[in-house]
Chain A
Amino acid sequence: MARDLWSLVLIFLFFSACAATTFRPISDGHRSAASELFVPIDGSYGSLEDTYEALRTVQILKIDRNIDINPHTCPVVSEILEDSSSQTKDVYYALGVNSILGCHIDSGIYEAVISRLQSVIKGAKSLYDFYYSIKGLLVIKDQGISVVLEDAGDAFHSIKALSQSGGRWRFSSNDAESSTYAAGLALEALAGVVSLADSDIDQSMIGIVKNDIRKLFDSIESYDDGALYFDEKFDAEHQSPLSTSASVVRGLTAFAAVTSGRLKIPGDEILGLANFFLSIGIPGTTKDFYNQIESLVCLEDNRLAVPLILSLPTAVLSSTSNDQLKVKVTTVLGSDSPPLTVKLVQASRLDSKSSPVLAHQELKFDPESSFHSLDILPTSMDVGKYLFVFEISLHDPEHKHVCATGGQIQAFIYYTGLIKIESAEIAVLDSDVDAVETKQNLDLSKDNVVSLSADHLQKIILSFQLTTPLGHAFKPHQVFLKLRHETKVEHIFVLKNSGKLFEIKLDLLALVEKFYYLSGKYDIELAVGDISMENSFLKSLGHIDLQLPEPSEKASHPPVPLLDPYSQFGPKPEISHIFRAPEKRPPQELSYAFLAAALLPFLGFLIGLMRLGVNLKNFPSAALPATFSILFHAGIAGVLILYLLFWLKLDLFTTLKFLSFLGIFLVFAGHRTLSQHASASAKQKSA
């Protein structure tokens, strides 16, 4: 029964543990980030508002400003303060910048500014007018100049008149919406009125405001990790949770500082707000940075409750290096806490149902390093993930009312160590008799080069033992056996354990389908890893040659491998066109020889003509027949020349064109020549 109860408690703890996040106070990381973020450009941070925020952040974080911005900024400040028509907001920021930089401003100017701001308060309609003018007066007062706000009660009433139900405020009397951001501004303004007042403010009014503050805290929202924040319901102002919460915190702490009597705000809510600002980590923008740091500095020293932050320098403790459990308790800005003792209420493993390993231990305080530490005895704690529950108890009972410690604080601790790997072996068994065919021992501290072979009727068996440094069974989160085929097809098996022994038996006959009937070389890899295992490994065991049967027709195909992005692109092989080879031709000499042979008959013909005694004696001598004969022969010569030209140069169409003209001429001339010749020969015959 008691055991069941324990497990119930543990389950409850586990679920509530999801909210267990320890937050870290502001550290050097913040300082270096701020010194990178707040860098003046050309000796200036930009507008006066930006300048004020930058200077204030740098001042709070105690960072040295290397660049003197006075020469650029002070003239702007005095210009704003001297100009009687400048905006109240600008005047406030100018005063703020001046209070940090210490520009030389004449006391006469202060007098003028004070009377100007006083008159603004008298005629103020909007919350911003009240806020900036009252804040401006406060800044002047802080510089040692006496400022007294007359009619403080009226100002208080005018601001209070803007408040709405639920503790929220309106920006001006014309606004219908109420805003949480405005509530912060209003509280700050009211606090300013109280501290500037020449006479006491009506305590009943202050009581009403205190009541409003409690109502405002009803609307606080929370994150899973226990951080609390205010969010803006009224969207028109575009305030983020950070700026809204910052505004409320500034107002709240300022109001608490000036009023007597305690505000009944639980310390846990103040701590939750502090956690919210710390959970942001290092903000990236100057505005967020300012809001975070300014709010934290308000919380650092406030009259409600000073949040104390318990932080762990590391969440991972190693058993091999005998790490001590170290805890630090500081304020939000990282300064030392008042004397206190940190108690470890209990430490329990998350994954087992056994009783807590450690309970009710007091941590030793080392004043030099300001750490609270505890030696974890290796005999009492094994590797694993633990939930530690701490409690802070303050030494001085006075402080108990001033500080918010948040009761029990939970933190996850990862306790790591070296895991012993023993008796690792891989074997191939014959299926029916489970007789060992081949068996090899493995050394899992290095890569192995086992070479095995098996067919589908056999079994592969891999086994090893894992033990924790204390000799207990250890079950890592990741125990994978990976078989990778040459074609990059991977199969992963999870190894199951029984006590210390991890074993997997691969019955290849049952796996052929899963292996897509792919025979061949498979690389074997074993991956063992866990969060608490310092020697997590991924080792190659070697390879195995599998002989699997041929796939049946219905067998599924292995998955398509991903395309390789490097080979997917890139140049293609060049292509050149292969031209048709020209026809084969005989050698030139042969052509010339046959040319000569072909011309021989013509030569014979010419010789024959010579031998016959060709002459031109029959050429007509009379004028007309001679003319026609000459023309006829010239025509024939023309045709022959045309033939020659046709061969050398002309195409058929041009040749035919010329030939048609020549032909007509030739027919005419030829007819006349022949008819004369015929008549001449007829005359001869008749003669």
Chain B
Amino acid sequence: MATSGWFLTLTLALVSVLPLCVAFSAESPTDRRILVLVDDLSIRSSHSIFFDSLKSRGFDLDFKLADDKRLALQRYGKYLYDGLILFSPSIKSFGGSLNTAAVLDFVDSGHDLILSADETASDLIRDIAIECGIDFDEDQSSVVIDHISYAVSEKEGDHTLIASDDFIRSDVILGEKKIEAPVLFRGIGHSLNAANSLVLKVLSASPSAYSANPNSELSSPPSLTGTAISLVSVVQARNNARIVISGSLDLFSNRYEKSGNEQFVTELSKWVFHERGHLKAVNVKHNKAGEKAEPAMYRINDDLEYSVEIYEWSGTSWKPYVADDVQVQFYMMSPYVLRTLSHDQKGRYSTSFKVPDVYGVFQFKVEYQKLGYTSLSLSKQIPVRPYKHNEYERFIKAAYPYYGASFSMHHLSVPQIAGQSSIYLLSSDRTNFLWNFDFEKQISEL
């Protein structure tokens, strides 16, 4: 009885989990279920514009306090969420089964993360950021100050609410529409780990900014100054998991009305939750010029055609991807041929080239990496053979003298055995054959 009860619970759990697995798939890469961890549930209200824009785009937000005892990202080995928003900068340790390792595992399994810190950022939040290649200013009391490009605020005059419009130049991350108004930022700065090539600065501070404690006098130079300060950064991992890290939680709030914040965070959230810049490649084809079928192998110097179809996810459907920098390599240890593919505006990319005169096992390789887009890595193995013995050219003009000579000698020498014998046989005795005659004569002389 107990066993059947247990079985029933398990089945129920599986049934409830199953639709979640369907939510995030290769065919529809946008995230659906998002866990939002907050320090204080009032963030739901103070950041409602951001959350409402997510909800209106079809996301299912699950708000939880970061120290909730029942927190879990996965159950029975299945992740319950496709994305995680950490709006809990001051949390010392998460509740439930969540910890730094669990968050990183979540990202490592291809899920997305928005992490927002502020001047109260705890070591836990800083550690997660460090694992993503982002180092917040080590001085816990420092904030980003800018005495030149600051926002004039009615309430405060300490120049910690800074205005920045130094965005990354990427339509895929920040949308095609230019962000006209500067973004207002109050929080802590960070620097990027130079060894990490996956992390990108999306919003940088102005050259006059610095990161320091506004209430104490500076005795030594601040560790972060100028445009080296990153305010908002993104990471796209090799498994296409996307991360946004911001040093300001207020950036996402409703508070700054006449700023570019709303557009900035909305566009950024579209990117991080895979509503944009997610590519897929289908119908990889190659064949000999003028043929349709894909051969099992090519011969050196064959002319071949290669084509692939690339589509970009628009949040609701796959749209043809149009770019002029998709390249294919014909690769064996190193690329022998590297071609830029031409496209037909409908997502079909193609090129044609001659197989090199080197035989071996080659690969067609497409290694497409573009700022902000998911990377495409396609490879297809194909052997290349040399000419067969009967595939060389049969008559060489330059060899005609040799042909002629051998024909001529054939009739002068070989017929001595065959042809001449017939002449010998068929001619009358009296006019015996010249060479035989001589031959016999020579013999008789001997």
Residues of A within 8 A of B (CB): 22, 24, 240-242, 280-285, 288, 313-316, 385, 412, 414, 416, 475-478, 480, 482, 490, 492-494, 525, 527, 529-531, 533, 536-538, 559-563, 565-566, 568-577, 579-580, 585-586, 588, 591-592, 594-602, 605, 608-609, 612-619, 629, 632-633, 636, 639, 643, 647-648, 651, 673-674, 677, 684
The closest CB in chain B to the CB of A600 belongs to B408
Given known pairs A601-B412, A618-B429, the reply for A280 and B200 (CB within 8 Å) is no
Among B144-166, those with CB < 8 Å from A are: 145-148, 152-159
Are B194 and A598 in contact, CB atoms less than 8 angstroms apart? Answer: no
Taken together as a complex, chains A and B put the C-alpha atoms of A643 and B403 apart, in Å, by 12
Taken together as a complex, chains A and B put the C-alpha atoms of A614 and B402 apart, in Å, by 29
Taken together as a complex, chains A and B put the C-alpha atoms of A608 and B437 apart, in Å, by 14
Taken together as a complex, chains A and B put the C-alpha atoms of A531 and B217 apart, in Å, by 13
The closest CB in chain A to the CB of B191 belongs to A562
B389 partner residues in chain A, CB cutoff 8 A: 651
Given known pairs A538-B148, A560-B194, the reply for A605 and B422 (CB within 8 Å) is no
Taken together as a complex, chains A and B put the C-alpha atoms of A10 and B357 apart, in Å, by 87
Min CB gap B231→A, angstroms: 15
A531 partner residues in chain B, CB cutoff 8 A: 147, 157-159, 214
Instruction: State which of B278-286, B342-350, B392-400 sits at the interface with chain A.
Output: B392-400
Q: When the two chains form the complex, which single residue of A288, A494, A537 contacts B218, counting CB atoms closer than 8 Å?
A: A494
Min CB gap B127→A, angstroms: 22
A577 partner residues in chain B, CB cutoff 8 A: 330, 336-337, 354, 356-358
The closest CB in chain B to the CB of A593 belongs to B401
Min CB gap B364→A, angstroms: 14
Are A527 and B208 in contact, CB atoms less than 8 angstroms apart? Answer: yes
A605 partner residues in chain B, CB cutoff 8 A: 411-412
Given known pairs A529-B208, A536-B208, A576-B337, the reply for A285 and B400 (CB within 8 Å) is no
5 interchain residue pairs of minimum CB distance: A284-B48, A529-B147, A414-B157, A594-B401, A536-B147
Are A591 and B401 in contact, CB atoms less than 8 angstroms apart? Answer: yes
Instruction: State which of B5-13, B27-35, B73-81, B219-227 sits at the interface with chain A.
Output: B219-227
Are B431 and A613 in contact, CB atoms less than 8 angstroms apart? Answer: yes
Taken together as a complex, chains A and B put the C-alpha atoms of A385 and B431 apart, in Å, by 139
Any A CB within 8 A of the CB of B314: no
Are A492 and B221 in contact, CB atoms less than 8 angstroms apart? Answer: yes
Are A586 and B398 in contact, CB atoms less than 8 angstroms apart? Answer: yes
Are B408 and A538 in contact, CB atoms less than 8 angstroms apart? Answer: no
Q: When the two chains form the complex, which single residue of B42, B219, B405 contacts A280, counting CB atoms closer than 8 Å?
A: B42
Are A599 and B404 in contact, CB atoms less than 8 angstroms apart? Answer: yes
Q: When the two chains form the complex, which single residue of A493, A579, A591, A647 contacts B221, counting CB atoms closer than 8 Å?
A: A493
A22 partner residues in chain B, CB cutoff 8 A: 155
Are B408 and A602 in contact, CB atoms less than 8 angstroms apart? Answer: yes
Min CB gap A610→B, angstroms: 12
Taken together as a complex, chains A and B put the C-alpha atoms of A284 and B49 apart, in Å, by 7
Min CB gap B410→A, angstroms: 8
Can you sample 20 A-B contacts with CB below 8 Å? Answer: A284-B47, A284-B49, A477-B212, A490-B228, A527-B208, A531-B214, A538-B208, A566-B169, A568-B197, A575-B336, A575-B337, A579-B301, A579-B354, A585-B396, A599-B408, A601-B409, A602-B411, A612-B431, A629-B425, A674-B425
Q: Which of B217, B221, B370, B402 has the most CB of A within 10 A?
A: B221
Min CB gap B327→A, angstroms: 6
Taken together as a complex, chains A and B put the C-alpha atoms of A639 and B418 apart, in Å, by 10
Are B425 and A618 in contact, CB atoms less than 8 angstroms apart? Answer: yes
Taken together as a complex, chains A and B put the C-alpha atoms of A588 and B395 apart, in Å, by 13
Are B168 and A565 in contact, CB atoms less than 8 angstroms apart? Answer: yes
Min CB gap A216→B, angstroms: 22
Are A651 and B46 in contact, CB atoms less than 8 angstroms apart? Answer: no
B397 partner residues in chain A, CB cutoff 8 A: 585, 588, 591
Are A677 and B45 in contact, CB atoms less than 8 angstroms apart? Answer: no
Are A315 and B155 in contact, CB atoms less than 8 angstroms apart? Answer: yes
Min CB gap B201→A, angstroms: 8
A643 partner residues in chain B, CB cutoff 8 A: 410
Are A283 and B46 in contact, CB atoms less than 8 angstroms apart? Answer: yes
Q: How many residues of B sit at the interface, in one of the four size bands? A: 35 or more
Q: When the two chains form the complex, which single residue of B147, B192, B408, B425 contacts A673, counting CB atoms closer than 8 Å?
A: B425
Any A CB within 8 A of the CB of B131: no
Any A CB within 8 A of the CB of B439: no
Q: When the two chains form the complex, which single residue of A314, A529, A633, A674 contacts B148, counting CB atoms closer than 8 Å?
A: A529
Q: When the two chains form the complex, which single residue of B152, B157, B201, B408 contacts A598, counting CB atoms closer than 8 Å?
A: B408
Are B218 and A560 in contact, CB atoms less than 8 angstroms apart? Answer: no
Known: A282-B254, A284-B49, A477-B145. 17 other contacts (CB 8 A): A240-B42, A284-B45, A285-B44, A385-B157, A416-B157, A480-B210, A568-B197, A571-B325, A577-B336, A585-B397, A588-B398, A598-B407, A601-B409, A602-B412, A614-B427, A617-B426, A618-B429
A596 partner residues in chain B, CB cutoff 8 A: 404
B16 partner residues in chain A, CB cutoff 8 A: none
Taken together as a complex, chains A and B put the C-alpha atoms of A476 and B147 apart, in Å, by 10
Are A314 and B45 in contact, CB atoms less than 8 angstroms apart? Answer: no
Are A242 and B42 in contact, CB atoms less than 8 angstroms apart? Answer: yes
Taken together as a complex, chains A and B put the C-alpha atoms of A560 and B191 apart, in Å, by 13
Are B427 and A536 in contact, CB atoms less than 8 angstroms apart? Answer: no
Are A580 and B428 in contact, CB atoms less than 8 angstroms apart? Answer: no
Taken together as a complex, chains A and B put the C-alpha atoms of A639 and B419 apart, in Å, by 11
A614 partner residues in chain B, CB cutoff 8 A: 423, 427
Min CB gap B288→A, angstroms: 17
Are B426 and A619 in contact, CB atoms less than 8 angstroms apart? Answer: yes
Are A315 and B154 in contact, CB atoms less than 8 angstroms apart? Answer: yes
Are B428 and A615 in contact, CB atoms less than 8 angstroms apart? Answer: yes
Taken together as a complex, chains A and B put the C-alpha atoms of A612 and B423 apart, in Å, by 11
The closest CB in chain B to the CB of A284 belongs to B48
Taken together as a complex, chains A and B put the C-alpha atoms of A153 and B86 apart, in Å, by 52
The closest CB in chain B to the CB of A603 belongs to B408
A529 partner residues in chain B, CB cutoff 8 A: 145-148, 159, 208
Q: When the two chains form the complex, which single residue of A530, A562, A588 contacts B147, counting CB atoms closer than 8 Å?
A: A530
B398 partner residues in chain A, CB cutoff 8 A: 585-586, 588, 591
Are A592 and B400 in contact, CB atoms less than 8 angstroms apart? Answer: yes
Are B157 and A595 in contact, CB atoms less than 8 angstroms apart? Answer: no
B254 partner residues in chain A, CB cutoff 8 A: 282, 284
Given known pairs A571-B327, A595-B400, the reply for A492 and B212 (CB within 8 Å) is no
Q: When the two chains form the complex, which single residue of A559, A573, A597, A615 contacts B427, counting CB atoms closer than 8 Å?
A: A615
B369 partner residues in chain A, CB cutoff 8 A: 569
